[in-house]
A and B are shown apart, each in its own frame.
Chain A
């Protein structure tokens, strides 16, 4: 009470921290006063750690445990047997797994390459001051605000050989019959069909990150370069690109992780077909887990994918930090 009175006297209008101190019941305040800073810090962090353990770590450990068994969710009455690394061996020697990984790699490499190139170019252009600049920015970012399921559905119509605008556009450019090719039905075209849609949808995201990077470059650097009579080309290679590189690399990281687990858009567009041409790892994994119900096998598959993404992302983040520190 003495403390409260003193505080009130010293600060007639207490700040928020003092208000919390004043509002704390004396009994609790006494108890807290007896705790060390370290204990209080732990008290604040504990709920988050508990949530992390419950939502992330426990499922991960459970998945690793399941991956060493022959457990199947749809056979609750069957005995669960310990199979060691058998599931891992089966996955790594299964040609279908490697076909899926190949399809995923093709999708990843091309979507990231195209999105970075187009996204950076758009950001570079948008960064210049011109009339209706804001309107163009808004229009460009519209695709990424749509649901992937919706995008998948309407691109299915755009790719329809008889009525699809995309086919008519290509026909207009090449003179071919629009009904003579099917973007999502032909082995040679289907992988490009999903790359085009993902690029259309997510390039604006890369553009926004690059735009943030470009706008973070102080104008004084360009002014100094102008004084030194550096050409625009030289300014781009020695100022713009190096200073925007950490942002570009961040965009690549985000898109890489996102596209490694790509599912909804591709399922809507091709269902993984024709055959297994566009069956990305996430689709393959889903089929194993929730269509074939091979829970143990699917868990091992998930662990392999997790380790792959985690390992690659860790290496990449280290490289990103090095670039940032330069």
Chain B
């Protein structure tokens, strides 16, 4: 009798303890479509763990402002942070994320199981070393969408071929891309005036830098001397980088819809969905939305990875984020259970189905992946050629400098491309000097 009583008391105590351990976790991320998919996905975690998930989503244009403020002030709002890839250096060096190596080892989570570019981009600091501060959560990359239905019109095909000597098809080079944009600029299609391309021009946060970099990489831009880190003279402002920047400005001058002086992801989506543009630069996360859209969905839209630059180089700007545990959180253990659950292959497979771009190789290397969605192959092609902006602790300062110089040259038309890139080198040099890099 005593033994039974003891046993039942013990089981009640264990239940009470587990109930006491059920935590309220808050996950912070940007307010966008994938965040809604994550809410759906996380219901499974809540059911399994007993923990309750709360979400703090902030629009992209103020996401960095709001969340970096939270991290810098040691705020306890977020237990889990799906932070931008460029934050990783600062968050690691300033002790804002917890290091995950021991946790990964203890739970059999291997970084080799994830797309290498996402591990480097979202998880590692210093880059190229096995020090992990995040689990790759959402793979993303800048690519292009185009109006497949307009491209298929015989009269347009014939006119284009006559004018440019090749087929109206997804471009193989940036020169071809510009030809297509010029061809559609101010053209009447289906009784409506349309424009060439929507590209990033936003001034306030990171928009124009993401757009310009997406083009510059393929023209030969390099952040610094591979032999001598932080030596930027002749790399950032190389002749080929100048040509790339001139190309971006020429694309802006010739081929964007009127009033496109301050547009980023949202404005690009609007321009494309409303049938204004033939081509649209945007992150891959927008593609599922186009695919199901009533106006441009299904067969009307095609996708292509960045075309090649003048020397045949093909690169694309990395987007996406890793998921980290915030060091200021009082619920780190519970937050780690979320990451452990999220890393499971079956959860990652479901993540992709719901609209989240999984970075797990088991998902993206599955034989059925490339044909699972019309944009899946383009996503794979783009992820294979990614490069990312500085992920240094001083990334925000570096970003503000590039925003100023790129917007000043491309949109405001101040000076020359060479002057803009020389100015950028001077600003970045001053920032790194303050950081004691020289």
Binding site for B on A (CB under 8 A): 70, 73-77, 96, 159-162, 164, 179-180, 182, 184-187, 267, 270-277, 287, 290-294
Contacts and interface: CB of A to CB of B under 8 A. Distances in A.
Contact of B65 (A180, A182, A275, A291): A291
Given A182-B261, A185-B261, A273 B397 contact: no
Interface stretch (B78-86, B174-182, B411-419): B411-419
A160 B409 CA distance: 22
B165 to A, nearest CB: 31
B95 A185 contact: no
B259 A74 contact: no
A77 B257 CA distance: 47
Given A74-B393, A271-B204, A273-B407, 4 more contacts: A74-B71, A179-B259, A187-B412, A275-B407
Given A287-B400, A292-B396, A274 B412 contact: yes
B262 A185 contact: yes
B326 to A, nearest CB: 14
A285 to B, nearest CB: 13
Given A75-B393, A184-B261, A274 B407 contact: yes
A74 B94 contact: yes
Given A74-B94, A270-B262, A291 B411 contact: no
Instruction: Among B257, B396, B400, find the residue whose CB has the most chain A CB atoms closer than 10 A.
Output: B396
B258 interface: yes
A186 B413 CA distance: 9
Contacts of A291: 64-65, 396-397, 400
Interface string B271-306: 000000000000000000000000000000000000
Given A162-B259, A274-B407, A291-B396, A77 B72 contact: no
B331 interface: no
A157 B434 CA distance: 41
Interface string B374-396: 00000000000000000001001
Contact of A273 (B68, B93, B94, B203): B203
Given A273-B203, A287-B400, A292-B400, A162 B257 contact: yes
A184 B262 contact: yes
B411 A185 contact: yes
B397 A292 contact: yes
A275 B412 contact: yes
A274 B203 CA distance: 8
Q: Is the interface of A mostly helix, strand, loop or mixed?
A: loop
Instruction: Among B64, B261, B413, find the residue whose CB has the most chain A CB atoms closer than 10 A.
Output: B261
B94 A76 contact: yes
B126 interface: no
B49 interface: no
A293 B91 CA distance: 14
A77 B397 CA distance: 18
B157 interface: no
B261 A187 contact: no
A16 B65 CA distance: 53
A291 B87 CA distance: 12
A182 to B, nearest CB: 5
A76 B47 CA distance: 38
B260 A293 contact: no
A150 B224 CA distance: 43
B124 interface: no
A107 to B, nearest CB: 17
Instruction: Among A77, A274, A290, A293, find the residue whose CB has the most chain B CB atoms closer than 10 A.
Output: A274
Contact of B72 (A74, A162, A179): A74
Contacts of A267: 204
Interface string B57-73: 00000001100110111
Contacts of B257: 162
Contact of A179 (B65, B258, B397, B404): B258
A77 B258 contact: no
B202 interface: yes
Contacts of A276: 404, 407-408, 412
B90 interface: yes
A196 to B, nearest CB: 16
Given A275-B412, A293-B396, A161 B90 contact: no
Contacts of B72: 73-74, 76, 293
A275 B408 contact: yes
Interface in B310-329: none
Nearest to B394: A292
Instruction: Among B393, B397, B414, find the residue whose CB has the most chain A CB atoms closer than 10 A.
Output: B397
B261 A273 contact: yes
Contacts of A74: 68, 71-72, 90, 94, 393, 396
A66 B71 CA distance: 21
Given A74-B94, A290-B69, A294-B397, A274 B259 contact: no
A182 B259 CA distance: 6
Contacts of A70: 434
Nearest to B405: A275
Nearest to A268: B204
